[in-house]
Amino acid sequence: MTEEVKKLMKKADHALEVAEKLLEDGYPSDAASKIYYSMFYATQSLLKAEGIDVVKHSAAESALGYYFAKTGRLDPKYHRMLIDARKIREISDYDIDEEIVEPVASLKIEEGKAFLFAIKKLIGIL
């Protein structure tokens, strides 16, 4: 495992930890955004571990689906979680009319934990 893969996974873990603290402090929209970034960094880590380089969010999402969900290496529900988390992040970061509420953010925290666990298993960290 390369240093870059390790650093990306460390960044993913940190983002999820920050998301939990933001949610505890009453900032569900900010927590939702951090949850997505945790999942995005974990996805990048997995892709890098496989020698797949992507930069754009949409490319990471597509590559996860193509190389892992469609091949059965990763349960497709995790690909769906990433897609849904990105949509929620876009709402929380850009939409001035819609707010992310605490139950949604709490659910996404649990999904973020499950997502990271699944990715770590694929990379061989667990």
DSSP 97: S
pLDDT score, position 28: 87
Say if CB 108 and CB 18 are below 8 A apart: no
CA 61, 75, 35, 16 torsion: positive or negative? negative
Question: What six digits make up the tokens of 25?
Answer: 């402090």
CA dist 16 and 30 (Å) reads 11
pLDDT score, position 100: 62
Total domain count, the chain: 1
Say if CB 104 and CB 32 are below 8 A apart: yes
**20-53, pLDDT tens digit by residue?**
999 999 888 889 899 999 999 999 999 999 999 9
Range of the domain at 94: 3-123
pLDDT score, position 98: 66
pLDDT score, position 107: 72
pLDDT score, position 43: 98
pLDDT score, position 77: 97
Parts of the chain with a pLDDT under 50: none
CATH of the domain at 113: 1.20.120.330
